[in-house]
Structure 1
Amino acid sequence: MAKLTKLGGGCQDGRTCPAVFVVDDGDAYIVQGWELTDPEILAELQLPAGESAVKIPASLVEVMRSAGRG
């Protein structure tokens, strides 16, 4: 099982907690965010089977950049 290290994130509203994690080998990220349900956005993304997309605050991208991994 892969070990995850949390790079950042938090509960801004006390209920939802977008976060970003790096996998222990440093070769991938796990992103926790808000589920996309807007049919127009989903249609534009044209996600293939087995993939999904989530929305995260821009501040999490900055966390990855600050960690030297973005």
Structure 2
Amino acid sequence: MALHMLGKDPNSDNGQSPTIYWDDETDHYVLQGWKLEDSAQLAGLDLPENETVIVFPRRMMPIFPEVKGSGPVD
């Protein structure tokens, strides 16, 4: 898997997460974010054992190439 960082949250402390990556082998995005730890929200999810949930701010959506209007990652 060859990950390419597309961008970090400009509002995060010290350049930490969340971060958006693109995997050029699978053509998938990989998202790094904060753990969802709210028990009420987690209880409302149908979360398989092999999956996890992160919190990801809406303000980061423009980092995705398709949202920027530049099409898929090359």
| Superposition TM-score, scaled by structure 1 size | 0.79
What is the Cα-based RMSD across aligned positions, in Å? 1.9
Which segments of structure 1 move beyond 2 Å, counting only runs of 4 or more? none
Q: Which residue pairs with 2:71 in the alignment?
A: 68
Q: Which residue pairs with 1:40 in the alignment?
A: 40
- Structural mapping, 1:1-70, within 5 Å: 2-10=1-9, 12-14=12-14, 16-25=16-25, 27-64=27-64, 65-66=67-68, 67-69=70-72
SS of the residue corresponding to residue 45 of structure 1 reads: coil
The farther-off stretch of 30-39 and 11-20 is: 11-20
Unmatched runs of 5 consecutive residues or more in structure 2: none
1:60 Cα deviation after fit: 2.0
The aligned length equals: 68
Unmatched runs of 5 consecutive residues or more in structure 1: none
% identical equivalent positions:
31
- For residue 44 of structure 1, what is the amino acid of its counterpart? G
Return the alpha-carbon distance in structure 2 between the equivalents of residues 37 and 16 of structure 1: 19
1:22 Cα deviation after fit: 0.5
| Superposition TM-score, scaled by structure 2 size | 0.76
Return the alpha-carbon distance in structure 2 between the equivalents of residues 22 and 36 of structure 1: 22
